Amino acid sequence: MNIFVLYGGKSAEHDVSIISAYNILKEVYYQYYTATPIYITREGQWMRKATITSVDDVPTHAAMTEDLEPFSIEALKVDDSIVFPVLHGPNGEDGTMQGLFEVMDIPYVGCGVLASSTGMDKIVSKVLFDAAGIPILPYEAVTPAEWQAKKYEVITRVELNLLYPVYVKPANLGSSVGISEVKNTDELIEAIDLAFEYDHRVLVDQGIEAREVEIAVLGNDDVNVSVVGELVKDTQFYDYKAKYESNDVGLRIPAQLEDETVSRIKKYAADAFLATDGSGLMRADFFVTADNDIFINEVNTFPGFTPISMYPKLWEATGLSYGDLIEELIQLGLRRHKSRQMSSMKDR
């Protein structure tokens, strides 16, 4: 079987995607598979590298965007293959790419259209979490029209309903891109302006003094959760640079939490997976206060697979190696595709 590993893409998380794909390619079980790296440029052009038949063929990280030739999307539709979309952010993780695979009837790894789109949108996902009974923090959503026409009404609404500090985020990005910690009115205006450079809707989240923990989810109809891990950092807020460049964030796996707190986090993570119609994989992020109150922050339907990424490390700590995790994700994608094909046949 051949695995088409897609990476790059048009989002602001382009570089993170390349790192993730490189690490995944090193862990594929090449005794069973070949892998064809497909690089999507920042402009959206699809390019391919030579097919990999052993771990010795995996290019260096720097060479992931070199020695390429044009690739036709139709070439994805070949027998005995699966697509592994290692794409973060819009135009990759938000349901658009998944919709393409569904239309072409191609098996692929990860969440489907609904989970990808709702999980990517921080505003919509909060509505779903709230409806599922998962505790969320107060928030305000801002649209471009109201920001342009009623800027000071928006500021008043935010300051009336939320307390500083707040966190301003593009509704549809991850990896801390475009996110700001805000402590006053002037910073609020600057942060919302910045967030609108990345997305057409903006979320203003209530800040909270709490520990940040994450948990990995794996499965289709059967939901499996990992141990809980904690982000260990010197400051309350850490940005893209701290996450991926300076490595200022440490990981504590497993997190030091009471058993009852861990049980609730695991339940909420499974509930979030089901509420968004998750399949394949998901990482759920939570806040835990000193009083052990738990609030879901967000979910990530294709979390990072870099050397410092929490998702694969959580599964390693749970007893599933990186290579076995990749294999399980492939098998979950194949099983979901087969199940949907059978359902489609019944509809006819």
- If pLDDT is split at 50, 70 and 90, which confidence band does 262 have? very high
Hey, is 287 helix, strand or coil? strand
In contact, 103 and 96? CB cutoff 8 Å: no
Query: Binding-site residues for Mg(2+), please?
Result: 285, 298, 300
The reported pLDDT for the residue numbered 174 is: 60
Token pair, residue 130, equals 């709230």
The reported pLDDT for the residue numbered 306 is: 86
Per-residue pLDDT tens digits for 83-117:
999 998 888 899 999 999 999 999 999 999 999 99
User: Is 13 a known active-site residue?
Assistant: yes
Which residue in 290, 329, 284, 331 sits closest to 310, CA to CA?
284
Whether pLDDT at 7 is above 90: yes
Rg (CA), the chain: 20
**Lowest mean pLDDT segment, chosen from 15-19, 48-52, 303-307, 344-348:** 344-348
User: Is 20 a known active-site residue?
Assistant: no
Token pair, residue 41, equals 């440029």
In contact, 103 and 83? CB cutoff 8 Å: no
Residue in 20, 125, 180, 309 annotated catalytic? 309
Whether pLDDT at 29 is above 80: yes
In contact, 66 and 90? CB cutoff 8 Å: no
Hey, is 139 helix, strand or coil? strand
Q: Cis peptide before 170, with omega less than 30 degrees from 0?
A: no
Residue in 20, 116, 175, 180 annotated catalytic? 175
Residue in 11, 13, 93, 214 annotated catalytic? 13
Residues paired with 206 in a beta bridge = 166
Whether pLDDT at 298 is above 60: yes
Q: What is the dihedral of CA 111, 89, 207, 180, to 10 degrees?
A: 180
Domains of the chain, CATH where assigned: 2-108 (3.40.50.20), 138-206 (3.30.1490.20), 211-339 (3.30.470.20)
The reported pLDDT for the residue numbered 347 is: 60
Q: What is the pTM of this model?
A: 0.91
Other Cβ atoms less than 10 A from the Cβ of 211: the count is 17
The reported pLDDT for the residue numbered 123 is: 95
User: Is 116 a known active-site residue?
Assistant: no
* 247 conformational bin, left if phi > 0, alpha if psi -120 to 50, beta if neither: left
Query: Binding-site residues, please?
Result: 285, 298, 300
